[in-house]
Structure formats: C-alpha cells, structure tokens
Structure 1
Amino acid sequence: MQKMASALTLIILGLVVLAFPVLGVIPFSLITGFIVLILGIGLVLSGTMEMGESAGLGILELILGIIALFLGIGFIVNPGLFSWLVGLLVWIAGLFLIIAGIMALISKTGGSRWNGLTAIIIGIIYIIIGIFIADPRVLGALIGIWLIITGAIMLTMKD
C-alpha cells in the first residue's frame, strides 16, 4: 500500500511539474546551490589556512572558493542560472563529440569513418538538446516526465 501511495504521489508531482515546469527546476537548483555554497566556504577557509605553507595553492583554493560561492548563491537566487549551466555542459559535450567525429573521419583507418559520422550526428543532437535545456521550462518538463515514468514503473512492479 505504501508503494502505491508513493507511486501515485510521484505521478501527481510529475503532472504538477509538467503543468508548471519551473517548479521542477527550483528544488534541484536550491539543493545544488547550497552544496556549492558549502564547497565554496570550505575552499575559502582551506585556501586561507594553506597560504602559510604554499601561497600558490592557497590563492588557487581562494579563487575556486570565491567562484563556488558566487555560483552557489546564483543557483539559490536564480534557478535559470542552473538550467543555463546544465545546457552549457550538454552543449560542450556535443562539441567534443563533433570534434572527435571529425578527427575519426580524417584519420586513415576505414572502420573509424562510420564511428566518426555517428559521433558527429550524436554531437549535433547534443548541441540541439543543450540549446533547449538552457530554458528552465524544458529542464522542468524533463524532470516532470521522469517523475511520471518513475511513478508508473513503481505501480507496475510486483512486491
């Protein structure tokens, strides 16, 4: 009975998130923001303590800590920043795939030509998805679909 209630709750939450997609991004953005904020505080403190032993390492940790502090606060205050960063990472992965595919096409081995063409096609798809994921509504809709599918799978599973 508890599993059925959990499954129905997931499905209802998924439908709510599909109706209001940005609501699905906000919890992920807040949780990530708090984690990155804590990481930034830790790096700033560690960098400050490290300055006595190694100035270069201490400065590097301070810089990374400050960047993490700004990102953490940004994720908490603006969920759109989180969506943009996710889209950027997917876009970069697509760019890497396209570059790897072009390198495989240029190489002398025959078998890697099909692999190269496949990598280019998948890379283009990644870039297209990365462009659309930068919109918080798309990322929220994907989260909603995931909740609905997870709830439906829980309903159909045997104990």
Structure 2
Amino acid sequence: MISIFTASVLAGLGIIFLGIWLFVKSFETWSASKGMGAFQLIMGILAIIVGIGLFGSILVFSFLVSFWLYLAGFFLIISGLFSLLGGSTANKGAGGIGIILGILYIILAFFAFNPFYLAILIGIWLIIDGVALFFVSPSDLITSGVEE
C-alpha cells in the first residue's frame, strides 16, 4: 500500500504543477487567442482541483488508473488516424496498424486482461511507427510553409 500511496502523491503533485503551468500559460496566450487562453485557464483550474483530489487518495488513484487504459487506446486510434490521413505510404501503413492496436487495447482493457499485454501492444505500435520513419525522407517530415 505504500507504493500506491507514493504513486498517488507523485501523480497528484505532477497534475498540480501541470495545472499551475497551464494557469500561467493561459495569461500569456490570452492576448494572441482569447479562446485558447480561456481553454488553458479552465484546464489549469481543473488540473489543480484534480491534483488536490488525487494527492494521497488511493481510491481516487485506482479509479483514474482504470480509465487510463481506455484513454491510451483512444490515443492510439487518434494518432493512427492522423498518420493514416496525412502522410506517406509508410505512415499510412503504420497508421492502420495503430488503429488496429488501439482497438485491441480497448478490447483488452474492457476485459481487464493483464496490463503486460497492453504494454506489449503499445511497444509494437512504437516499434512499427519507428521503423516506418526509416522509409520517410526527411524533407517529408518538414511541414514548415516557408517559401522564398
């Protein structure tokens, strides 16, 4: 129980610091974009509240960890869609595999299999995405619209 308590305290502190950073960043962004500044302000306040609630609470930490499995699957699907919709042929293949692995990740999280298998799926996705980068020319990676 000590290790779960320590993880809860560290996660709470991390989220509190993230909330403070977003709160400060919102005032810097406010002059450029009021919408983005307001979004960062709201997210900063929510992060501080969640961080305080998470700090030292084993029950809240266990509850939020269960949602991370689903969230990681959705991130795999979203990043796979971005790779699939915009990119070279190698990125499209890696994007398709990312979508498939994201769906598998969510299915495995739903049935609450061993998290070891979920980590293997993330590792497979990262390896395939890294190998796909070898087949992309560096000029394709540069997306700056600088023209002379």
TM-score (norm 2): 0.49
Rg comparison, structure with higher value: 1
> Quick one: higher RCO (CA 8 Å, sep 6+), 1 or 2?
1
